[in-house]
A and B are shown apart, each in its own frame.
Chain A
Amino acid sequence: GESVGLHLPTLSVQEGDNSIINCAYSNSASDYFIWYKQESGKGPQFIIDIRSNMDKRQGQRVTVLLNKTVKHLSLQIAATQPGDSAVYFCAENMSGGGNKLTFGTGTQLKVEL
């Protein structure tokens, strides 16, 4: 089949700056959202999740914001470090959808020294 999405959106930030990665999700019935980090050659690593009854959730150096009105999700990384360089995916899960996650395109985060 035809391949799409080979050229990922890229975000370049300076070490120590804050990063904001955005994601538009597709299904208004989705009620659970997850951000994953994927380093080259590895599987997706869980970062943080949020349920649709919340609009903000904080973890260690990361914050996820959810705007259900416009179906938008963002991941904020504070004091970005070289080890944060990776591809970041948002994923959505529908109520009653089991563990079927629908992933976004992904954003390549590059941290410059």
Chain B
Amino acid sequence: ETGVTQSPTHLIKTRGQQVTLRCSSQSGHNTVSWYQQALGQGPQFIFQYYREEENGRGNFPPRFSGLQFPNYSSELNVNALELDDSALYLCASSANQASSGNTIYFGEGSWLTVV
């Protein structure tokens, strides 16, 4: 158990809809990042939040957005869902940033299917 919890675990949405995924970071971890993992591929970095501010973004369009709350939990929002958004969405947390020597732990993910 990593202490990183995500919800929901599975969900099905229709193309064009919007989805919100949630993540609670491990106790004491103030840095949260989100990844998208398509079937058979490695996780792809979406963005990172540090002290409630977006702090780094991967190659994802603006319809992927997020929030971090004062308790360091986080949300990932995806608007105008497309079929290719079907994937496992992973949340990862660490105590400060990896370059400071802090291990990054992942949650079990949220499986999103867009039909």
Contact = CB atoms under 8 A, between A and B. Distances in A.
B106 A36 contact: yes
Contacts of B42: 5, 89, 91, 103-106
Interface string A25-50: 00000011010100000111110010
Contacts of A98: 31, 33, 48, 50, 55-56, 97-99
Contacts of B56: 97-100
B67 interface: no
A5 B40 CA distance: 6
Interface residues of B, number: 34
Nearest to B38: A3
A45 B94 CA distance: 14
Contact of A101 (B4, B31, B84, B104): B104
Interface residues of A, number: 34
Given A6-B39, A100-B58, A93 B98 contact: yes
A4 interface: yes
Contacts of B106: 36, 43-46
Given A32-B98, A34-B104, A99 B33 contact: yes
A59 interface: no
B90 A43 contact: yes
